Amino acid sequence: MRRVLERAGRCVLTYAVLYAVTWVVIALLVSPEDSYTDVMWLGLGMLVITGIPTLLLALLAGLAHRRMDVTTFRATLAFPMMFFAWPLIGANYPQPLVLQVLCQIAFAAYLMPAPLVPENWTAKPR
């Protein structure tokens, strides 16, 4: 149980750091019309719409992941995570949408610890 909680904590911490870095980059790249603090507040608000559902999906899928190869699991998980960035379609600039989608893909494809419960993993490595 301790190992699962450590991996889940690492999952949450990794996503939080990646999300913060993504929004710092977005704040630096958007037009000078918008202030840095306004963009960072927008990023904090987007955490509720984008970040929390992503983390819930990652944790639930990671706990349920038992039979699929890790590479296939990551590719399968990256696709639905991209849809959580949909509110950014209405942004004035393309950077928030593009960078948030890249953040979601990077987390699912490379940074998420998978599987979260290695003891239950029954897949055969390729």
Predicted confidence (pLDDT) per residue in 48-81, tens digit: 999 999 999 988 888 777 777 778 888 888 888 8
Q: Is the pLDDT of residue 20 over 90?
A: yes
Q: 80 lies in a domain?
A: yes
Query: What b/e string do you get for 26-39 counting C-beta neighbours within 10 Å, with b at 16 or more?
Result: bbeebeeeeeeeeb
Please check whether residue 73 is in contact with residue 65, taking contact to mean a CB–CB distance below 8 angstroms: yes
In a domain, 50, yes or no: yes
The per-residue pLDDT for range 84-111, each reduced to its tens digit, is 888 888 877 888 889 999 999 999 888 8
How many structural domains does the chain have? 1
Neighbours of 12 (CB within 10 A): 13
Q: What residues make up the domain containing 34?
A: 2-116
* Domain-embedded: residue 123: no
